[in-house]
Structure formats: C-alpha cells, structure tokens
A = this chain, B = another copy of it.
Amino acid sequence: MLVRIATAIALVSAVPVFSMQESLISESQESTAEQLIEMGLASDSGYEIVRSLTTEVGPRLGGSRQEARARDWAVQMFTELGFENVRIEPFEMPYWDRGAISTSIVAPFPQPLRASALGGSAATPQGGIEAEIVFFESFEALRDFDGSLENRIAYVNDRMISAQTGAGYGPANQKRRFAWLEAEARGALGVMIRSVGTDSHRFPHTGMMSTPNDGTINSGTHSDVAIAYIREEHPDYAENRMWSSIPAVALSAPDADQIERIHESGESVTVRLSVIAGWRGSRQSGNVVAEIPGRERPEEIVLIGAHLDSWDEATGAVDDGAGVGIVTAAAHLIDQLPRAPRRTIRVVLFGAEEVGLLGAFAYARDNSEDIGNIVLASESDFGAGLVWSLASGTSEEGTRFMDEAQQIIAPLGIIRGDRASNGGGPDIIPLAARGVPVFRLNQDGTDYFDLHHTPDDTFDKIDPDSMAQNVAAWAAITWLAAETDVEFRTQDE
C-alpha cells in the first residue's frame, strides 16, 4: 500500500520525496543478498584461501621469485574455483632487496638492536657506519631543525596511536616516508625511526619510503599527500632524484624505548649500523585477474581486489592474504548462485603493492581504455578484522543504493559510513583518480598495526569467524552492485 501511494506522489511531483522513493533494491534482490550472507557466514573458504597462500607460497615480495610463485598459485586457485578469463597481466618493476642488517648501540651501553631496513633504503658503506645519534621527539622536530646533521644519524621517536579506523597511521607514518629526505638534506649519515606500529614486541615494522620515481611519486597509500609534501618541501628531489643515498631503518618498539631511556638519562648514544639493502635492477611482476562474466551487461565491470604481494619477512596473512581470501571467496559464493549477475565481476589480485602500488599503476596504465567500463571498485586491504562500516563515493543514486545496501548487511554489525569517500583501498587510488566510483567495507583496525609489516604477520593471527563476516558482507555488496542497473558514476563527468 505504501508503495502505491509513493508512486502516486512521484507522478504528481517531479521533485523526488526522499522518504517516499521506491527502493533501488528489489525484494528479490534483497533476498538473494541475504542468502549470500548466510552462505558467507557458513563458509570457511576465505580462511582456507589464506591458509593455502601463506603455507604454500609464504613471503612474496613484489618482483621476487616468491611473488611469481604466488601468481602461479592464484591462477591455479582461480581456475580450480571455476572463474573465467583467468590471466596474468605482467609488468616490469624496479626491484629493491632488503639484504642483511646489523645494528647495535656501541656507547654508552653496548648491546644489539633489532631493526629492519625501510623499503628503498640505501646500503651503508662497506663495514657499516658508527655515529652519534641526534634524537628528535617527532618528525616535525626533525623537519623544523635548522642545524647540521653531518657525521651523525638522525633518530625520530614519535609513537603511533591505536585506533579502530587506523587513523594513527598517517601521522606516525610521516617519519617513515620523509625522514630520510630531511636527514639527507642536513648531511646525516643515516636515519633511524621508531617503528610505525602499535605493538610492544621486538619486531621492527618495515614499509616503503616516499620518493620521486619515474616522474610519479612512489609513496604507498597516500600518493597525493606525498606528492604535495615532496614537491613543496623538496622540489630539487622531486625534479632530479630517485631515491635516498643514505640508509634508513626502523627499530622495534622495545629497542626504540632503549634509545629513548638512554637519551632521557642525559647520555649521548652512539650506534653502529650495517645495511646491505639496495636496488637490484628490473624484475617482472604481474596482476592476476579472474572474472564472472555478466549475463546481461558483460561490458560493465564491478572490480573487487586485494594485493597478492607481501613484505618479505612474513607470510603476509593479514597484509594482504586476508584480502585475497575475502574477495576471492565472496566472488566464488556469487559464482555458485543459479545465474550470474547482470554485470561482470572482476577480481584483481594486484602485484607489488607494498613497494609502491606498482601493480595498481600498471593496471590503470595497461587497461586505460577499459577504465570507463568499471562501474564500481573496491579493495580489501586492512587485515582480517570485522567489517563495521560501509563507505562509498558514487553518484547520488549510487549513494541511495548504498544506503539501502547497508540496511541489508546491518545484521552483520555494519553501519553506514562516509558517503563522499574517495578511497576504495590503496590499489584503487589510480582508478579513483580517473573517476571510477568506489565503496569500502571498513574493518576494525584496532590491532592491525600490531602486526602490519612485521615478521609476525602469519596465519595464526587470522580469526575464521571475522573472515566469514567479511566474506558475507563482500558477497552481498558485490552481488547487489553487479545485479543492479544503478549508475554509480556521476553522470556529468
């Protein structure tokens, strides 16, 4: 009855009355989405995919032989699960190798330290370096320092806070991205930072530094911020330089505490540092793609992704084995329905994300003619914690669709998040920059940065129930987006 009245009002007035608008999601569609949620909650296939990837491949640094094995693994998995158009889209990339590291305090209290080179770090001269550190409470203190750091090593100490949204990452990560620039510009022999992480274990957190690279800025997940920072603060680097010429390393939290305690006691700290990291030429990486062709509008694509590579010191269970498991299992659930959705679902497992979104940039470059066909995109790359909100950045109609879709996944404990999001996940950045609409199923990241980029990111940290909730939510939203004819793209673009 209400529906009939709403229709009548719509006929009378050209201005839509929000509360009276017809549903964009039909009862039948809602019912199928609910069925997918039920299937997802009962399935362990996301969890089992992470088990398989972390056990049978293990660590898989972008450009490494292990990453090539991961691609073979992914092709086999997609094929066995019955996906179509399974393919590797290869690309060339510069390869950085961690090599070995040795770090210690030599004075006043000799003892070894646990450290990890940051991605892109230069090696020390043979034999290592030994120098006094200059202690900076924060990245800002280093940035604002107007003295010289010649013959010394800059040390940056600020801590990351833990937050459900992961909001502590950006501020704490300034020192990982840019401290090398500030240190090198002041003549330092090297730079050390307290790890960007929220744990207190003896695991350093690695991660890529930001730097001009091939005319773009290689910066992990915050390209625009990195571009702005480097162009404004260090235009000479942006124009002329590729990478740091000094070694840059992260200390584990307990080792950083040790430096801090000695510094606070008034003693100056001398450290020894030997790093054999460096760039080792060009290697091949690739994105692995699989599809469920749409039954009515196969040219229209809902793209869901994760990244296949991991850092080299762990098996990449939460970063991003979990994402690989979640999006693959969600698409596989959809593939088990009696018929395919109207639009094509494309699963993309990006290569070489950790080392600078290289697979994402390659994907956008090599599929540039196809980007206009991507109606909606998202990536799962925030671990294996529970989804708690649905964000989106789409047309008005798309926003209304997502409002309704959230109601369907609300029983999973998911509220409606940001309606003007410009982020669909790190590897979606190059697509979003070209106008592709996005959504994101935001996960609880309270503990994510305990493990992030450490040797401790292993399969035992994955909770199967959380994985199942993720798969359920992804299956429902992905299927609804592929089944609808709602236009997510803003039409005046």
Contacts and interface: CB of A to CB of B under 8 A. Distances in A.
Contact of A459 (B257, B456, B459): B257
A459 B254 contact: yes
Interface stretch (A29-37, A110-118, A431-439): A110-118
Interface stretch (A180-188, A198-206, A363-371): A198-206
Given A109-B57, A111-B66, A114-B455, A460 B253 contact: yes
A106 to B, nearest CB: 12
Contacts of A203: 201-202
Nearest to A73: B109
Contacts of A315: 111, 258
A257 B109 CA distance: 37
Contacts of A108: 56
Nearest to A114: B455
Given A201-B201, A202-B203, A202-B314, A254 B109 contact: no
Interface in A73-121: 105, 108-112, 114
A59 interface: yes
Nearest to A255: B458
Interface string A46-71: 00000100011111000000100000
A71 B99 CA distance: 37
A262 interface: yes
A201 B111 contact: no
Contacts of A461: 200
Contact of A261 (B55, B254, B257): B55
Contact of A109 (B56, B110, B202, B262): B56
B202 A254 contact: no
B59 A254 contact: no
A254 B456 contact: yes
A459 B111 CA distance: 14
B202 A456 contact: yes
A460 B111 contact: no
A458 B66 contact: no
Contacts of A265: 55
A258 B202 contact: no
A349 B261 CA distance: 24
Interface string A215-247: 000000000000000000000000000000000
Interface in A248-301: 253-254, 257-258, 261-262, 265
Contacts of A257: 458-460
B51 A261 contact: yes
A461 B199 CA distance: 11
Contacts of A58: 105, 109-112, 258
A109 B459 CA distance: 15
Interface string A172-202: 0000000000000000000000000000111
- Which of A55, A56, A112 gathers the greatest number of chain B CB atoms within 10 Å? A55
A462 to B, nearest CB: 11
Interface string A313-355: 0110000000000000000000000000000000000000000
Interface in A455-485: 455-456, 458-461
Query: Lowest 8 CB-CB distances: which A-B pairs, in order?
Result: A58-B111, A254-B458, A202-B455, A200-B460, A202-B456, A55-B261, A56-B109, A254-B460
18 contacts: A51-B261, A55-B261, A55-B265, A59-B111, A66-B110, A111-B315, A114-B455, A200-B461, A202-B314, A202-B454, A202-B455, A202-B456, A202-B458, A254-B456, A257-B458, A257-B460, A258-B458, A261-B459
Given A200-B461, A254-B458, A258-B458, 7 more contacts: A51-B261, A55-B109, A55-B262, A202-B203, A254-B456, A254-B460, A258-B315
